[in-house]
Amino acid sequence: MLGYRIYHVAEGGRLRLGDGFQAADDAVAIAKARLLRLSGEAAELWQGGRIVGRFSKSGGYAPAR
């Protein structure tokens, strides 16, 4: 199991600490992060020092490049 964390993006682009959780891989982590994301707020999903992807305010997901 890998450690992941979702960060909520406040106005002005500042990251606010979100929830940490464990997942077997990125696909499972993305599904869990969808449930933890605050409605109407952008968010970033990280696994350690690696950004996995970003959620838009509307809930769309884009993987990191």
Q: What pLDDT shows up at residue 10? A: 83
Q: What pLDDT shows up at residue 48? A: 93
What are the tens digits of pLDDT across the range 17-56?
889 999 999 999 999 999 999 888 899 999 999 999 999 9
Q: What pLDDT shows up at residue 43? A: 95
Q: What pLDDT shows up at residue 13? A: 81
- CA angle 60-11-35, nearest 5°? 35
Q: Are 38 and 58 in contact (CB under 8 A)?
A: no
Q: What pLDDT shows up at residue 63? A: 97
Q: Is 27 helix (H, G, I), strand (E, B) or coil?
A: helix
Q: What pLDDT shows up at residue 40? A: 86
